[in-house]
Structure 1
């Protein structure tokens, strides 16, 4: 029988909890004859917040990006419930991906660059075999330079998200916080964020993975099935 851990790996369920359900609540149930602006906002925020908390308790280890996601949800709720100026919403929407982008850049000065956590890791690539072949062919230094380029490209995807988040928030959310119109606009922004921001960012991420794959193939002569990890079917 499938459990909730299996659902976490299903994009449809992730999309349902994070975007679809909150959007429907905000856009359709914020009127005074329904839940009202405040209750609708609290109810809509419950779904992504509870899903994020579930992931924290399930993995039982620190996840920087997941933590930022939870903070983002809480800040969105705080801005709406405290009826703060909409400028703070735009700043909040831009700040989360911008912080991640800066963290990616700063990590290049440490022993643990974030690209090795997000992309070049043992769950995605056979890093031990790659390292062994790089050492054998004396191409490790070239690979490290290419990995640095990939890190800069990775950070650029988050900066792209930051700019687009800010533009989208300023463009769509114009009504006073705490009103039913504000909730409806927040729902529209959430809905549009997927095709406008998430999909382009995903394509950029896939392009980085392809860049790494071409780099590894050229420097190690390993085949595709030797580079990427394949889960065994049970």
Structure 2
């Protein structure tokens, strides 16, 4: 029997609850004839916040990135409801991905660099086999340098996201907070975040992952099929352990 906490996240539900529904509410249902500016904002932000809380109980552990995401949403709501200057939202939008990038770089000085935590681990790759191949070819040090380079590239993707976040917020958010117009602009910013911010940052991230995987195959002499764990075999192994 598969543990519920191990179920994969549904990307459609993620997109629906974090972007589509909040955008529609902010842009179409925040007028005086519907929810109103403040209630519309609260209802719109309730969807991603609820999703984040449910995800926490699903995986049963604190995820640094998910936690920062929820904090970001709460800050957006707080700044808007307090009717502070929109520049603070722009600063907040830039700060969150910047913190991701800083965390990635700081992790290089710890025993658990984020690139290892998320990619080079026993649930994704056959790490023992990779280390054995690296040792046999004397490429352990070169591989560690490759992990560092990949971490810098991942941090750069967060840096790009930070700059684009700030620029988008400054361009879109021009109305006073607490108004229907501001909610519509907030919805527009949320909708534009995918093509303007997420896609460019993801391209840089994919480039970093391609570099890392290419280095692993080059330094070990193993193919990708030899490196990655077969999902079906991993599932069978997990099921046997549970029984």
TM-score range, shorter chain: over 0.9
Q: Which residue of 2 aligns with 1:16?
A: 16
**Equivalent residue runs for 1:57-136 within 5 Å:** 57-136=57-136
What residue is the counterpart of 1:55 in the other structure?
A: 55
Q: Cα–Cα, structure 1 residues 31 and 4, in superposed 2: closer, same or farther, change >3 Å?
A: farther
Structure 1 unaligned segments of length 5 or more: list them: none
Q: Does 1:145 align with 2:145?
A: yes
Runs of 4+ in 1 over 4 A off after TM superposition: 3-8
In the alignment, the residues of structure 1 paired with residue 187 and residue 6 of structure 2 have an alpha-carbon distance, to the nearest angstrom, of 27
Counterpart CA distance in 2 for 1:76 and 1:137 is 51
* 1:200-225: CA deviation from partner (whole Å, max 9, x where unpaired): 22222221111111101111010111
Work out whether residues 72 and 96 of structure 2, in 8 Å CA contact, stay in contact via their aligned partners in 1: yes
Number of residue pairs matched?
A: 233
TM-score normalised per structure 2: 0.91
**Deviation larger for 109-118 or 189-198:** 109-118
The 8 Å contact of residues 8 and 14 in structure 1, kept in 2 or not, is answered as no
TM-superposition CA deviations, 1:160-195 (whole Å, max 9, x none): 111000000000011111111110000000000001
Distance 1:8 1:30 in 2: 33
Deviations 1:67-98 (A, max 9, x none): 10110010011011111110100011011100
Shifted more, 39-48 versus 59-68: the winner is: 59-68
1:134 and 1:229 map into 2 onto residues whose CA distance is 18
Offset, 1:120 = 2.2
Counterpart mapping for 1:1-12 below 5 A: 9-12=9-12
Corresponding residue for residue 185 of structure 2? 185
Asked whether 1:220 is paired with 2:213, we answer no
Deviation at 1:124, TM superposition (A): 2.4
TM superposition shift of 1:121: 2.4
Q: Does 1:173 align with 2:167?
A: no
Please report the TM-score for the alignment, with normalisation by the length of structure 1.
0.94
In structure 1, the partner of 2:161 is 161
Query: 2:5·2:60 contact (CA, 8 Å) conserved in 1?
Result: no
Q: 1:166 to 1:192 in 2, by over 3 A?
A: same
Please say if residues 4 and 58 of structure 2, whose CA atoms lie closer than 8 Å, have aligned partners that are also in contact.
no
Describe the shift of the 1:200–1:122 C-alpha distance in structure 2 as closer, same or farther (beyond 3 A). Answer: farther
Instruction: Quote the offset at 1:7 in angstroms.
Output: 7.8
Q: RMSD of the TM alignment (CA)?
A: 1.8
State the Cα distance separating 1:104 from its structure 2 match: 0.8
Shift of residue 10, structure 1, vs aligned partner: 2.0
Runs of 5+ consecutive residues of structure 2 not aligned to the other structure: 237-243
- CA deviation vs aligned residue, 1:138-160 (integer Å, no higher than 9, x gap): 11001001111111111000011
Query: How far off is 1:6 after superposition?
Result: 8.4
Shift of 1:229: 2.3
Shift of 1:127: 1.6
Equivalent residue of 2:208, what SS?
A: helix
